[in-house]
Amino acid sequence: MLLPVFYMASIDEIDKANLSLGEIQVRNIAKNISLIPTFVIYALFLPLLMILYYCYEPGKEKIHVFIFTFIIKPIRWFSYQIVYLICNFFRKLNK
């Protein structure tokens, strides 16, 4: 189950009709492994988010949006790109 915070349509929705089986496998592996560093960073920020949720009412939504938009999603995108490049290199090397 994917948390809605981690969802990115460009990564999570794979066009299975127009891609080869190897490409689909590479994208699935990259999609799943990119969640690991994303979740670690999310877990590091979670205590801060909980404290801000209960203590700092006016800015909690802005801080949540900032953390999710400018920290969590870019980390997932970069980790996806790194894993994708490595897996795709090995897939092409194996041909």
| Domain assignment of residue 24, yes or no | no
- pLDDT per residue as tens, the chain (95 positions): 567 878 888 898 998 999 999 999 999 999 999 999 999 999 998 888 888 778 777 777 788 888 888 999 999 999 999 999 999 999 999 87
| Domain assignment of residue 4, yes or no | no
What's the pLDDT at 83? 97
CA torsion through residues 56, 59, 65, 66, sign:
negative
What's the pLDDT at 36? 94
What's the pLDDT at 10? 86
Neighbouring residues of 81: CB distance < 8 A, sequence distance ≥ 6:
30
| Domain assignment of residue 8, yes or no | no
| Domain assignment of residue 37, yes or no | yes
| Domain assignment of residue 61, yes or no | yes
Provide the domain limits for residue 85.
Answer: 31-95
Give the helix ranges, DSSP H, for 20-72.
Answer: 21-33, 35-55, 60-67
| Domain assignment of residue 7, yes or no | no
Split into its structural domains, the chain has a count of: 1
| Domain assignment of residue 21, yes or no | no
| Domain assignment of residue 17, yes or no | no
What's the pLDDT at 2? 65
What's the pLDDT at 32? 94
Around 60, how many Cα atoms within 13 Å sit in the side-chain half-sphere? 13
What's the pLDDT at 66? 87
